[in-house]
Amino acid sequence: MSNDLTAASLKRLEKVSMGNDLRIQQGVTRGQPFQIQVNGAPVTAYPGETIAAVLLASGWQMFRHSALSGEPRGPFCGMGLCFDCLVTVNGQPNVRACVTFAQPGDLVERQI
């Protein structure tokens, strides 16, 4: 599969799921929701969610592009080891979204 096909496929997937809340709803109690900004768009987050969880639940799947190959990247390990989830948070680049809790008012930029 070519890099372009992979990127195009992911963009199509994002288009389908953007704006939907992909969180499990039934039987789950969450704290008071708050807003963060992702590439300038308001996104709802809940206490205890990592930035990666917030982005994925909101339909964002591409977090960055590989510096070497240009391929799209998103969370892979989910535990701080692979660095595929790097985003810019409040102006700080290369933050691992999977091990960083979302805070009210965070300004998140995908590194794409």
* Strand order, beta sheet including 92-96: 41-45, 34-38, 107-110, 86-89, 92-96
**Nearer to ligand FES among residue 36 and residue 100 (C-beta):** 100
Q: How far is the CB of 83 from ligand FES (least distance, A)?
A: 5
In terms of CB distance, is 76 or 101 closer to ligand FES? 76
Q: Tell me, what amino acid is at 10?
A: L
Nearest to ligand FES of 10, 82 (CB atom) = 82
The binding site for ligand FES (CB under 6 A) comprises 75-78, 80-85, 96, 98
Locate all alpha helices (DSSP H) within 3-112, ordered by sequence.
Answer: 3-17, 51-57
